Amino acid sequence: MDNLPNWDLKGKYTLLKRLGKGSYGSVCLAQSNSTGAMVAIKSVKGIFEDIYDAKRILREICILRILNHPHIVKIIEVIVTERSFRTIYIVMESAQSDLKKIVKSPTYLDFEQVRYMFYQAVCGIRYMHSASILHRDLKPANILINEDCTIKICDFGLSRSYRRIDQFDQYNSEDINNFALSGGIQCRSLPRDKLNRDMNFINKRELTVHVVTRWYRAPEVILLEKEYNKEIDIWSLGCVFAEMLSLVKANAAHYIERGPLFPGMSCFPLSPDTSTSIKRAGYPCAENDQLNVIFEVIGTPSQQELSFITDPKAHEYVNSFPPRQPKSFQEYFPGCGPDELDILKKMLVFSPKHRISLNELIMHPYFNSVRDPAKEIVANVRADFIFDSTQEMTVEQLQDIFSREIVNEVPLG
C-alpha cells in the first residue's frame, strides 16, 4: 500500500498498486468495495488545460463507451469529483498481465494457446474497424492477457474514426525535436531550397507529442502518407502475432531470444540517425533504420508495391535501398507450420493495397478449430464524434460536450 496516490474515489474502490504512469496521470489496480472485482483506474488531471488533450481524453472515453466486444476492454464508470472536471478517474476492466510482460518473462505457451489468443485479437480489431475506428497503436503492451489466455485490447488514446484522422499526430516529442533541430533532416548542411522541400515532404502541421511505437509502424505511416486506413492496424497486428509465436519454445529456445520482429532504432524522416555517414537519396540512413530493418526481413518492395506512395521524395528514398530478396519466416520461427507462416507473409506486406483483410484473415484455415460466432460480431454503431468535426473549439464548448457525452451517458460517481 506504500506510495499509492490519495485519490478521491468516493469510497467505491480500494487502490492496490500502481500499474504505470504517463503524461496524463497514473494508472492503478484497484478492487471494487461492493463486488470485489478487480479494475484498472486511470487518473486524468488538468483535462481542459489544453484543447488537444481534452479532445484526446474525450475521444478515448467515447470510443470505449461505444465499443462492446468481449475482447476489447470496457469502461465501467467515470468518477468526477469536481464540476470543473479538474481531475477525473476512468474505471476500466483489468487483466492479470499484458503481452509485453509475458514476452519478457520465462513463460512459454503452446501453439494452440497462441492460436486462441491471436484469434481473439483478430475478432476484436475486426469489430473495432466495423465501428469505423482505427486503433493506431497496436503493440504487445496494449494486449491484456489473463491466465486462461483470454485477451482484451486496450489503450485507445491514439485511436480515431476513419473520417476524423489528423494524419500527423502519431509521433513523439523526440521525433519532432529531432526533425526541428535538424531543420528537416540536417538544416545546417542543406541549402534552403532543399530544406523547404523537406518540410513540404512531411506536410508539417500540428505535430503532437504522442507516439506510435516505431517497431509496429506500418510502412505508409513511416513514409507519412496523407491517406491511410485500417491496413495500418493489420501490419501492427502482424508484428504482434510474430511476438506471440516467439512464446512457443520451438521458435525461441530461451525467452531472452524473444523480441520485436523489426527492432529499428531510428526512423526516417522524423527521427533519423544523424550520426551515420550512410546516405540514401541525400538522407541519413543507419543500418538500424526502421525501413532498413523491415527490408532485411521482407525484402525490398517491387515497383508495383511502391504505387501507393504519393510523395516523390519518399519514393526516391525507398528506391535508394539495394535490392534484397525476402527471407523465409521459417528462419525466424522454425517451429511454425505452413498456416502461421502464410499468415505472417500475408499480413506483413509492404503495400497496404496488398495486405490481407481481416475478413479474409478470419476465414483462414488456421482458425478453423477456434472460431466462435459470438466473437465474430460487428458493430451496429459507427464512430463519428461531433468534437472532431471542428478544428477551432473553445474550452467551454468542450466542457459542454463532456457534460453531455460523458456525464449523461456514463455512470458517474
Give the tens place of pLDDT for each residue, 164-205.
Answer: 554 444 444 444 344 433 333 332 233 334 334 443 433 333
- pLDDT value for 173: 40
Give the tens place of pLDDT for each residue, 239-252.
Answer: 999 999 999 999 99
Nearest-CA neighbor of 114 among 209, 252, 206, 227?
Answer: 252
User: What strands lie across the sheet with 87-93, from one edge to the other?
Assistant: 13-22, 25-32, 38-45, 87-93, 75-80
Contacts of 244 (CB under 8 A, 6+ apart): 99, 109, 114, 117, 118
Helix (H, G, I), strand (E, B) or coil at 1: coil
- pLDDT value for 118: 98
Q: What is the pTM of this model?
A: 0.85
Lowest mean pLDDT among 10-14, 55-59, 104-108: 55-59
Angstrom distance (rounded) from CA 276 to CA 186: 12
Q: How far out from the chain centre does Cα 354 lie?
A: 21
- pLDDT value for 192: 34
Looking up cell 459542454 gives 400
Give the tens place of pLDDT for each residue, 248-277.
Answer: 999 999 999 999 999 998 887 766 666 776
**If pLDDT is split at 50, 70 and 90, which confidence band does 347 have?**
very high
Angstrom distance (rounded) from CA 57 to CA 144: 20
349 or 393: which leads in pLDDT:
349
Q: Distance of CA 246 to CAs 14, 112, 312, Å?
A: 36, 13, 38
Give the tens place of pLDDT for each residue, 28-76.
Answer: 999 999 999 999 999 988 888 877 778 888 888 888 888 999 999 999 9
Residue 4: CA count within 13 A, CB half-sphere: 14
Examine the pLDDT at 230 and tell me if it is beyond 60: yes
What does the pLDDT average to over 373-387?
86
What does the pLDDT average to over 203-214?
42
Whole-number percent of the chain with pLDDT over 90: 54
Q: Are 287 and 278 spatial neighbours (Cβ–Cβ below 8 Å)?
A: yes
Nearest-CA neighbor of 154 among 111, 237, 93?
Answer: 93
For 190-329, where are the alpha helices, taking DSSP H only?
192-201, 219-222, 231-245, 290-298, 312-319
- pLDDT value for 195: 34
**Strand-pair partners of 87:** 45
Angstrom distance (rounded) from CA 99 to CA 83: 37
Q: What is the mean pLDDT of the chain?
A: 83
Helix (H, G, I), strand (E, B) or coil at 280: strand
Lowest mean pLDDT among 119-128, 250-259, 358-367, 383-392: 383-392
Examine the pLDDT at 211 and tell me if it is beyond 90: no
**If pLDDT is split at 50, 70 and 90, which confidence band does 413 have?**
very low
* Per-residue cell: 375: 466473437
42 is in an annotated binding site: yes
- pLDDT value for 179: 40
Examine the pLDDT at 215 and tell me if it is beyond 80: yes
Q: Which domains does the chain have, with CATH numbers?
A: 13-93+385-407 (3.30.200.20), 97-367 (1.10.510.10)
Give the tens place of pLDDT for each residue, 287-336.
Answer: 888 999 999 999 999 999 999 999 888 888 899 889 999 999 999 999 99
Examine the pLDDT at 86 and tell me if it is beyond 70: yes
Helix (H, G, I), strand (E, B) or coil at 193: helix
Whole-number percent of the chain with pLDDT over 70: 80
* Residues forming the active site: 137
Helix (H) or strand (E) holding 115: helix 111-130
- pLDDT value for 62: 86
- pLDDT value for 335: 97
- pLDDT value for 54: 81
Q: Are 187 and 173 spatial neighbours (Cβ–Cβ below 8 Å)?
A: no
Q: Please, what's the b/e burial string for 318-329 (b: 16 or more CB within 10 A of its CB; e: otherwise)?
A: beebeeeeeeeb
Helix (H, G, I), strand (E, B) or coil at 141: helix
